[in-house]
């Protein structure tokens, strides 16, 4: 573990994988269970190049580096302060040769990177449509939660251009956007292949949805059994424990 600068109000959190740590600022935006579940849902083979769109503080590339044998990861983040925090977390864990953090706009990703240059793209995008008075709020939390700087259409468009033929896009989102998600993905030749709904408790409505899509894939979608986060007593289910701590 290297010595890096930890700024005022920042904290260092244990990711429970390979001893990796993550620098976060609670005043900005801290990762949640959705990012962890996406890192467990996404797959990357040995030698793959992986791009994380809207990487925030870099939690998904760092977790996936621990969980996969992919060759290299790039995290793209528009907010300079978050990108710098992610870069310091990469250095803190000694992963400079495996993970690069790039400060840039998702809408310009197909200009920043070469076409068809990634095997896998991951994204934990803003969930909420713009509206409801949020249009003029450009705080870090608003940018992370609302489509003020990047839309679902932007994600699908650049992913289609940057993925290799047959490459995979992995996304975590909210169930109420499922029609938007599937229609937009197909519009950009990203064929939905796997869907899994995430439920807080057995028998409750889903709170998240995990989606895998393939660039120019054949039409056929598999719906996996629900992923349940909590047992009745409020403890994590065995599957969640494995995703977090294996």
Over residues 113-122, the pLDDT tens digits come to 999 999 999 9
**% pLDDT > 90, the chain:** 84
Which tokens sit at 15?
Answer: 């990711």
Q: What is the pLDDT of residues 194-241, one digit of tens each?
A: 999 999 999 999 999 999 999 999 999 999 999 999 999 999 999 999
Q: Which of 52, 158, 162, 166 is nearest to 118 (CA)?
A: 162
Task: Report whether pLDDT(174) > 70.
Answer: yes
pLDDT at 184: 97
pLDDT at 40: 96
Mean pLDDT of the 12-25 span: 95
Q: How confident is the model at residue 149 (pLDDT cuts 50, 70, 90)?
A: low
Q: How many CB atoms neighbour CB 184 within 10 A?
A: 18
Host H or E run for residue 157: helix 152-162
Alpha-carbon distances of 243 from 4, 37, 41, 137, 188, rounded to whole Å: 28, 7, 9, 34, 30
Q: How confident is the model at residue 28 (pLDDT cuts 50, 70, 90)?
A: confident
Q: How confident is the model at residue 245 (pLDDT cuts 50, 70, 90)?
A: confident
Sign of CA dihedral 154, 101, 119, 192: negative
Host H or E run for residue 149: none
pLDDT at 127: 59
Q: How confident is the model at residue 246 (pLDDT cuts 50, 70, 90)?
A: confident
Pairing relation of β-strands 118-123 and 49-53?
Answer: parallel
**Whole-angstrom distance, CA of residue 142 vs CA of residue 119:** 30
Highest-confidence segment of 21-35, 123-137, 168-182: 168-182
- The radius of gyration of the chain from alpha carbons, rounded to an integer in Å, stands at 17
CATH topology of domain 11-32+42-189: Rossmann fold (3.40.50)
Q: How confident is the model at residue 150 (pLDDT cuts 50, 70, 90)?
A: confident
What is the residue-averaged pLDDT of the chain? 91
The least confident of 5-14, 75-84, 97-106 is 5-14
Task: Report whether pLDDT(99) > 50.
Answer: yes
Mean pLDDT of the 101-123 span: 97
CA dihedral 82, 195, 238, 246 (to 10 degrees): -50
pLDDT at 222: 98
Q: Which of 197, 196, 126, 194 is nearest to 155 (CA)?
A: 126
Non-local CB neighbours of 143 within 8 Å, separated by 6+ positions: 78, 79, 126, 149
Task: Report whether pLDDT(147) > 70.
Answer: no
pLDDT at 141: 44
Non-local CB neighbours of 111 within 8 Å, separated by 6+ positions: none
Host H or E run for residue 213: strand 206-215
Which tokens sit at 215?
Answer: 């660039």
The 10 Å CB-count burial string (b at 16+, else e) for 47-84 is ebbbbbbbbbbbbbbbbbbbbbebebbbbbbbbeebbb
Q: How confident is the model at residue 1 (pLDDT cuts 50, 70, 90)?
A: low
pLDDT at 132: 42
**Whole-angstrom distance, CA of residue 149 vs CA of residue 130:** 10
Mean pLDDT of the 77-83 span: 95
**Whole-angstrom distance, CA of residue 239 vs CA of residue 49:** 27
């Amino acid at each position: 573990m290297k010595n890096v600068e930890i700024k005022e109000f920042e904290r260092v959190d244990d990711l429970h994988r390979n001893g990796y740590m993550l620098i976060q600022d609670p005043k900005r935006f801290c990762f949640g269970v959705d990012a962890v579940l996406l890192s467990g849902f996404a797959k990357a083979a040995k030698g793959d190049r992986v791009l994380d769109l809207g990487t925030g503080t870099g939690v998904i590339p760092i977790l996936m580096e621990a969980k996969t044998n992919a060759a290299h990861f790039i995290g793209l983040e528009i907010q300079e302060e978050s990108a710098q925090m992610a870069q310091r977390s990469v250095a803190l864990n000694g992963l400079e040769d495996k993970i690069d953090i790039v400060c840039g706009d998702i809408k310009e990703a197909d200009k920043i990177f070469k076409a068809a240059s990634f095997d896998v793209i991951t994204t934990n995008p803003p969930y909420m449509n713009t509206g409801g008075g949020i249009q003029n709020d450009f705080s870090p939390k608003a940018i992370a939660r609302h489509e003020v700087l990047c839309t679902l259409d932007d994600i699908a468009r650049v992913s289609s251009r940057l993925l290799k033929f047959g490459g995979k896009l992995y996304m975590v989102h909210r169930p109420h956007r499922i029609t938007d998600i599937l229609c937009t993905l197909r519009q950009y030749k990203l064929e939905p292949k796997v869907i899994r709904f995430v439920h807080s408790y057995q028998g409750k409505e889903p709170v998240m949805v995990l989606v895998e899509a393939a660039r120019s894939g054949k039409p056929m979608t598999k719906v996996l059994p629900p992923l349940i986060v909590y047992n009745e007593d409020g403890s994590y289910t065995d599957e969640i424990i494995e995703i977090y701590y294996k």
